[in-house]
Structure 1
Amino acid sequence: MPGTEPATDWLLQLDPALRWQAMRDLLDAPESAWRSERAKVETEGWGARLLSHQDEDGQWAGGAFVPKGFDGAEWRREGQPWTATSFVLTQLREFGLDPSSDSARRTVDLVGRTCRWEEGGQPFWDGEVEECINGRTLADGAYFGTDVAGIADRLLGDVQPDGGWNCARCRGSIRSSFASTINVLEGLLEYEIATGGSEAVRSARRSGEAFLLERGLFRRLATGEVADPAFLMPLYPHRWRYDILRALDYFRKAGRQFGTPPDPRLGEAVAILRSRRDDNGRWLVTWQTPGRVWFHMDGGIGSPSPWITLKALRVLRWWDEQTH
């Protein structure tokens, strides 16, 4: 299928996880076309590669959040590991593994029966205590079709006074963080799409959105200063981390789902994102999170990032269509 520009054509030559989303989000291909491409995520490319690393009991690396037997000294020396079950499930969701596929159904069942959180031994689909973890687990469970209502209810009770969320709440924080808030927002959105949600879910999502919008997605509310320079440098895989592209892609998805136009307060972040496009119409890898991974999906620092490019192109398409 020919693309409308070189960057889109480039994406169509890559992994099925990218191709089916480029077909749907950039080319408006009919579902009959992209669904067959999406099905390949289970059997080809990065999706199949991740599935090949699955343990017999349904977990990855023998753990929920960290690999079995992981030495904390390695975390301090080399960075957080990303090979355990929770991060792999999130990656498979972002690849678009079909929830009705044999691999997905088997995984959801096995993980529910065998996987326990290291923090307190809770069953995986009951969630943990940190909002970032629970936000991603809510998104993964809702997407893959298992009951995660208990996690949703917990997150509704974890809203901070300023409207967002913070993993440090359990340690006394009363201020929200950008990272915790985007993790929870993505989870609530996926849950609302899957179940229809409730007024309480919609209200919590609106409060979290307001937290980000009031700050232009990247500024401190009190001073207007950039809260963290890394917020302006798109990252993928983002894991638990926050950046403006992750937030913009959330607002794009919510806007498409519910027919809401882009908020003007997204404009500055959109302009920064647009300015980072290179002469070939792509976005480059500018940094990576250290730590164990099953494999990389780009050529490293300075190379074009297919995932950042896909997400940026669909954000800009949505913005330009809705604002011009």
Structure 2
Amino acid sequence: MIIIPDPTPEFVQSAFYNMLDGLELALEKDSVRCFLRLFAKSPNAMAWNLSITSDTLTCMVSHNALRCAKVVLPGKASWLNGHHANPNCMNPHGYFPIHGVAERFSVNMIKLLFHHGALAKVHTLGDVVIQNLLPLHVAVENTCMHKYLEDSLPPMQYHRDYIYKLVHLLCLLEMKIFLDTVRLAGKTDNLVHEIWNYIMNGKLVQATVLLLASQNQIRKHDCIIESLGCIPVSLRSINSKYRQHRWDWDHRRNRAWQTRDLARENTPQKKATHNRALITVLSWTSGNVDGTKELTEMPYLHPAEQKVM
């Protein structure tokens, strides 16, 4: 599937906004029949060059109109006359349908988009959006603004018990749909880099959300666990502000490496051991990372890359 900017002419966009009220009524009910009737009446407002416009698909995503989306993505309905929607077409506002789904935490919709070829590694672009955001960033940031987290977490994150409280809240049943969305949106080959950036920028809540949501992906790749296990070694010299509260570096490094070895074994304790490793790393981070400092050693880079830097 090719990623393309929005090719819709301005006169088609104008026609779309003129009939938007009627479209929203159909999408609120998620009525395929109403949508197809509206499309047959005003095809030039929702399609261009055999494609359903990105505005139309974005509107479906915003209303979570799953049944209608199932019709326009393959484009097999006779009333569509061969028109179909491209999930990798950027809308005029500078983001993709997958960004809209990540913002609204619709697990079924995001699965549907991926089924029809949507890509997770697409970035926002333009003057009306925050640029260079992945769908993963949108899902993580919106999860962090959940009322449970805002109301229940203490104001100071540099406290030993902060991470345990945070993990407890994220494991509540009410948070499952949010973590599921982050997990689905996190289909990127650069997961370690995203986690590392959150940690080094002092964004503990974001790092915790991403780590918990991506546990299965992390367990599949020893290099990720090794990289996280090296965090205490890499940051020995950069955090004077919290040095008086710093924990035993070598002890935490050994625990992380032991956890990696145990995670390779096929035992019933595998998942619990891995979760303890995540809490170990994040607990260390909550008391020792200063987001204003720059990292001088990045363990997940190859030696050649380190020399270039």
What TM-score do the two structures reach when normalised by structure 2?
0.30
In our comparison, the structure showing a higher alpha carbon Rg is: 2
Structure having the higher helix fraction is 2
